Amino acid sequence: MTLDLDFLFNAANLFVLPFWALMILLPKWGITRKVMDSYLPFVALASLYLYLFISGLDPETAEAFTSTQLADIAQLFSMEKIAATGWVHFLVMDLFVGRWIYLEGQRTGTWTFHSLALCLFAGPLGLLSHILTTWVTQRFFAKAPLPNTPEAAS
């Protein structure tokens, strides 16, 4: 039994939305932290990726994957199953990076709303935004250590 490609593609897109909504809209909610501490969303998405990758692999696509030529890669991604596999790859990796941004923001107190929103739509831009936000926060808004604390002594 093969699963319908459109169904899997749409299901993957919908699957990630609650995680993004929790991180962006309810970052301090205890349930958000519990959900985002789990690897289960990534196991589910990576399993779908594995299924799509294996079911889309044949001698022709395997050879195309080894090419370093842009035209060959573009032709490869013109195939629906390969495009869906690539898109699920983006979903998994963007959500993983978003999770890291969220957890780092919770750990350090860095504001993450904008970086997570960017990461949802353009993963690397969200990562860059978080790196810059962290730098600006540490450089210009870092709180001085309280007197008589180990941090003040160093």
138: number of CA atoms within 13 Å, CB side? 8
Give the count of domains, the chain.
Answer: 1
- What kind and span of H or E run contains 106? helix 80-108
Cα–Cα distance between 29 and 69 in angstroms, integer? Answer: 46
pLDDT tens by residue, 33-62:
999 999 999 999 999 999 999 998 888 888
pTM (two decimals): 0.86
Domain hosting 29: range is 5-153
Q: Is the pLDDT of residue 3 over 90?
A: no
pLDDT tens by residue, 59-111:
888 888 888 899 989 999 999 999 999 999 999 999 999 999 999 999 999 99
Distances (CA, A) of 126 to 83, 113, 138: 23, 10, 18
Tokens of 10: 């749409």
Q: What is the pLDDT of residue 25?
A: 97
